[in-house]
Structure 1
């Protein structure tokens, strides 16, 4: 995997017999994280780019240069962190308000499917980045493994759970392990 970072774009190239190149400009990265479009084809295009980037991150996080990894982490954490000051809260409110105003227009124009695809791709991208960060953090992996082992040791005394309850319990264990770091 070869990554080229210029002031114009981030270019990820896979060097193999069947090579693939994805070029994402800074404005497209911003659009992935803060869409300002109502074009169905643009939502589909951004969803495809976000999914492609997520696939690369999921498969080859370790091969992505440290500078690019850091940039991706900044985007993911910026999205996840709650607003701290009044300015950030106001900007978040304005963003949510504009989304609330745009959503009926998106539905009326028949672009709901492309918008949902975009949202799903965006979430997949965030999860791929966070998974990559978690995979490289040995302390996190150790803490999570210990928490899971403890949970499975206690499993005999716990009632049967549904798949949804099990997922929620594993998610809670993961959050607890992360807090212990």
Structure 2
């Protein structure tokens, strides 16, 4: 079952609202083929709705669909390497090089940014739920926080880059 069909067949009720997204709308969220400002705004709204479903109704989403969403998120943040990935990356950059000036000329940049942010929100919501479910990750994070607070008095100030690197190392350690 594809992600779009699995999600489209579900009606999750976050805070008493029912949201139904069709498979074609989900495909459009992840692969926009239009530069219509109103369409970008509409896709951004639907993507944000999907993110809300994930954030507040993850446990109501069937396990099979959760797994498909996880695969999607991991593929998005770490695409496969090789010739196919390079070709897809080139095609994506080429498409963006053509579409972005058109979007700018039509004055639709704000709607495109809203769409892009909503898409990122979906990926972040999926990854947050994955982290929440992973007990090894939670344990490693708790231990790192305890260690950090224990060493608080004896350590020097950390730069933002050092903090990001430390968090990345903790996350990588938990995933291993």
Give the structure-2-normalised TM-score: 0.84
2:51 paired with 1:59: no
Partner of 2:22: 25
Partner of 2:35: 38
Given that 1:9 and 1:24 are in contact with CA atoms closer than 8 Å, whether structure 2 keeps it comes out as yes
Q: Which residue, out of 110, 116, 120, partners 1:119?
A: 116
Task: Judging by fraction of residues, say which structure has more helix.
Answer: 2
Q: 1:23 to 1:166 in 2, by over 3 A?
A: farther
Partner of 1:175: 171
Query: Deviation digits for residues 139-173 of structure 1, max 9, x if unmatched?
Result: 111112112222222222333357x5586256324
Query: Deviation digits for residues 50-102 of structure 1, max 9, x if unmatched?
Result: 11111121112122211221121122122112332202220121112211221
Given that 2:7 and 2:65 are in contact with CA atoms closer than 8 Å, whether structure 1 keeps it comes out as no
2:67 paired with 1:85: no
Given that 1:147 and 1:177 are in contact with CA atoms closer than 8 Å, whether structure 2 keeps it comes out as no
Distance 2:166 2:31 in 1: 30
Given that 1:51 and 1:121 are in contact with CA atoms closer than 8 Å, whether structure 2 keeps it comes out as yes
Distance 1:44 1:73 in 2: 25
Secondary structure in 2 matching 1:22: coil
Distance 1:170 1:41 in 2: 42
Partner of 2:132: 135
Distance 1:142 1:149 in 2: 11
RMSD: 2.5
Larger RCO of the pair (alpha carbons < 8 Å, separation 6+): 2
Task: Judging by fraction of residues, say which structure has more strand.
Answer: 1
Structure 1 residues without counterparts, runs of 5 or longer:
none
2:98 paired with 1:105: no
Distance 2:156 2:127 in 1: 31
Distance 1:46 1:166 in 2: 37
Distance 1:27 1:138 in 2: 35
